[in-house]
Structure 1
Amino acid sequence: MDIKILLTIIALILGIVYFAIPRIYKYYFKRPKLIVEIEPNKGLTSSQTFIRFSSKNPVGVPVNTPEGISIYEFEWKFDLIVRNNSEVNAFKIKMCQHKNSNYLTFKKSINPNKALKAHESEIIPFIFSKVVETKHKDRASHFPKVPNEFKDLMLHLEYENEFGTKFYSRYYFNTNETKFNKVSKSELKFWC
């Protein structure tokens, strides 16, 4: 083969690679990075409400002693902040919580039809509440500054770049950390 033809073929291949790599990067690898943070809500951030005395109290024993058992509702109010920490807009954002978490109640949701632009954030107020049957003396152990159940809670965000490529963020309540790994389809059935 002639050296001129070989150089022409190599130059053609290099030219195609030179123009293809940035486009491939833009479509499949240039991604928004959504991170999640939690802050206490403004104003009253936690409350405990007496519901009633328990039926487990012994008959004839006063219920207002430290050994008396009552049912309380404990409630914490937080703001979930979803922030786009990149130069790329995020589209079709879908937020899911793990199906085993019955304690979280979100006051609003993320609008999937609205893009979260670069360096913007969305604040979503939520309430964490639980009902506990406990002795009066043990009530404080069920009502820390941050709920004990946070160690088992996670949130999952699914979103797209402008070309429709899906990306993922997973927030762990116990470590206050966001990871960007993909969730397998078999695991995804436990979400949303």
Structure 2
Amino acid sequence: MSPMTATLVGLLGVPLLALLIGFLPVSGRRVSRFAAAYDVALTSDTRPVLSAYLTRTSRWRAGGGAIGWLAAGAFASGSGGYHYFLGVAGYLAGALVAEVGASLPVPEGRRRASLVVRRPSDRLTWGARWGPVLIVATLGVHTWIYQAWSTAGRDRVSPSQVMLALAGIGLATAVLWLSCRFVVLRAPKASA
């Protein structure tokens, strides 16, 4: 096998294997072990909930790990362990997304529109609204300056490193924006 073929098999084979394993159906034995580990009584009501939770988390983890592994292959110029690092980082990001998604409340009954105007200023402080924006803007300026003056006594920064940094900044922006939206769009607490 040529080195190029081996690299291609390693680049595509590992994420494909992770996705195949992550998207396998959850066995009843795994649900039982999970319930025993967390001291949850298995009933006809809790079994489907635990099964759906385990399915969702394993799929998000596998997807995150596969995306991280592929990102390392696309952006890393050398093999130096980036695949493992970004694969694990993607796995953990997938786990985080799955846990955040699992913790969001599902509204009961039929959905209906609320006529209450929800503005960020009503629910978030100034720092919570503008702090993340300022942090992300500072990171963007820092990345731009580092790329513009990278030849001044330092090694040249590859465009893939800048693209990866900007993608990370974009991801941070999306996470911060979505978290603010979740706070603002939460249903108001009923007054007693």
Q: TM-score range by the shorter chain?
A: under 0.3
TM-score, reference length from structure 2: 0.25
- Of Structure 1 and Structure 2, the greater strand share is in 1
**By percentage of residues, which structure has more helix?**
2
Give the number of the structure whose alpha-carbon radius of gyration is greater: 1
Provide the TM-score with structure 1 as the length reference. 0.25
Give the structure, 1 or 2, with the largest relative contact order (CA under 8 Å, sep 6 or more).
1
